[in-house]
Structure 1
């Protein structure tokens, strides 16, 4: 019986199953052409359908008795694809990721190592953000190794790889820290090696200060927003010092107007916390609720469900443009501003730590470096000089 070797490729912004065969197989064309979503690719010189189980089954039924389907290459792609989906935490691959799957496949040993790595992170209950970043770093190493097994690398070889990331790939100090943590997890948690890998060199992180808005800038930022939903979104973020992920996952039931609290559930480190509910915010939220009637999440997308993180970032970007604010910063800048303004009002640092959900006080201390300190009438020595300006 004739054989058709199915392939996978990226075409017209989606992954496809390619069905290549000689053009003179008219009987095969006759049964393929009526299938739903089937199309012809001039660049690939073959028929194709979307990459899905439903479409594969349709092709298999149509070609039954007419040709044998060789699925080896397709299965190999799907195995590699599964690993890449674990990296992106998405339902489908981008063009760039699909190209990686085809051009830089993991060896059998490293693919198995990646699966153990990913599964253990999930089993330990790490956040989706940690899962994604750790998998990204580990997958990058595995692609670079080619047929060489990651489990066989020595401590010195791992250190050389980290140095290469800094010198050749231009990784920042923070990025290197993430790569170190990911590799430590593999060699210590998955492979069960000793803690010698805790001695991997870690460059010192630069002590940068966060960008903070003045209270007048926050007023201008919020005041420029005419859309009620967007205004309520920004006010909620600033009034409670929320991370953007916490903001979009707030639910209607988390707003307690009786106790005047906001219940922030499963923040960073999977910790709940309570923050005060601003009376000013409550007034706005009541008006917002009457107009938008959110069902589950406080801020919902057009099709329901939680409001998108990217959409929230676009809201503040538009507000900054409208207010003429050029300081760099996304939604997190409102969190920085919240903490700094509380500190300037004389709020105890330990209390701010609790409100922000920081695990360590050292994380909160950095706001002392941006807060305006000293008496209100403090003057610079420059102002005491008699200068002819």
Structure 2
């Protein structure tokens, strides 16, 4: 993902917001979302948001609620506005007026281990099989799977290096032995096909210089679940939920699972209270 650029003709306020986000190393996706949401607030006001009042913030949230905006979307806007008010405008009084809405989460859909196996077997290529296996076997987010490079696989320490995960944070994810064997097989196939340079993407897209996108990965898992005749609604995040659930069922401590998932705050877990020769040695 690319960081939002600063075109020649951009307002000083927008420029300042972008600089504030980049200085704090927010992820490119978060930066794009914040820019979109602050622009939405400005459009509601009809003038520059640096002239907003506490009553403007209240009216904006009332209008969103009346328009039927989903609660997660409303809370995402609140996060953007709080950042903007606090760091860019230095208006903590406005930030306090942007309130998160209570959201009762549904219990996530989880696949059994046999259903996971059926989905994987229904994929159409070794690359797709390996990508979905990483999502489940390491509990990665779809954006993290997409961004993996060959050099992120540490076979000596049996870890996957996740660079710039959610919130711009990096971490190490588990690399089970069976998953490493699978990735070695995919490595050999990719090398034969000429799409796997040692410093390239682990799961290249149609063009080797670009990875499989999150949208493509989502389409892959949906098609595989349909081909496997899985009646549940399955997405990439279903694999991550299933990873956490199966570890919990195996008796793994909930705090360990949170670390593996890359969660920052302790709490509920998904529905519950670098040389080429050393990377893939034969």
Q: TM-score, normalised by structure 2?
A: 0.85
Which runs of 5 or more structure 1 residues have no equivalent in the other structure? 1-85, 91-107, 370-389
Task: Specify whether residues 188 and 261 from structure 1 end up closer, same or farther in structure 2 by C-alpha distance, changes over 3 A only.
Answer: closer
Any idea what SS the aligned residue of 1:269 has?
helix
Q: 2:99 aligns with which of 191, 201, 210?
A: 201
Structure with greater contact order relative to length (CA < 8 Å, sep ≥ 6): 2
1:320-369 per-residue CA deviation (whole Å, 9 max, x = no partner) reads: 110112322321110000000000010111111111110012142x5336
The corresponding residue for 2:204 is 300
What is aligned with 2:272? 368
Question: Using a 3 Å threshold, how does the CA distance of structure 1 residues 181 and 260 change in structure 2: closer, same or farther?
Answer: closer
Q: Is the Cα–Cα contact under 8 Å of residues 251 and 298 in structure 1 kept in the other structure?
A: yes
Q: What is the distance in 2 between the residues matched to 1:196 and 1:161?
A: 12
Alignment of 1:307-318 (within 5 A): 307-318=212-223
The TM-score with structure 1 as length reference comes to: 0.63
- Other-structure match for 2:52: 153
Counterpart selection for 1:141 from 25, 41, 66: 41
Of residues 276, 283, 292 in structure 1, which corresponds to 2:181?
A: 283
Q: List per-residue Cα deviations over 1:212-246 (Å, max 9, x = no partner).
A: 11111101111222411111111111100001111
Within 5 Å, give how 1:120-135 maps onto structure 2: 120-135=20-35
**2:117 corresponding residue in structure 1:** 219
Secondary structure, counterpart of 2:160 in structure 1: strand
The counterpart of 2:257, out of the listed 348, 352, 355, is: 352
CA distance in 1 between partners of 2:26 and 2:263 (Å) = 17
Equivalent in the alignment of 1:185: 83
Deviation per CA, 1:246-289: give whole Å up to 9, x if none: 11111112222222222222212333222332222222222211
Match of 2:277 in 1: none
1:117 equivalent to 2:17? Answer yes
Alignment correspondent of 1:339: 244
Q: What count of residue pairs does the alignment treat as equivalent?
A: 262
The match for 2:133 is: 235
Q: Name the Cα RMSD after superposition.
A: 2.3
- The equivalent of 1:20 in structure 2 is none
- 2:148 is aligned to 250
Question: In the alignment, what sits opposite 2:276?
Answer: none
Cα distance, 1:111 vs. partner?
4.0
Paired residue for 1:262?
Answer: 160
Mapped to 1, the partners of 2:156 and 2:18 lie a distance apart of 43
Q: Which has the higher strand share?
A: 1
Quickly say closer, same or farther: Cα 1:145–1:181, change in 2 above 3 A.
Answer: same
Give the whole-Å Cα distance in 2 for the aligned partners of 1:142 and 1:196: 14
Structure 2: unaligned runs, 5 residues or longer: 274-282
Of structures 1 and 2, the larger Rg is shown by: 1
Counterparts of 1:145 and 1:368 in 2: how far apart (Å)? Answer: 40
Q: Is the 8 A contact 1:211 1:327 kept in 2?
A: yes
Q: Residue 300 of structure 1: SS of its match in structure 2?
A: coil
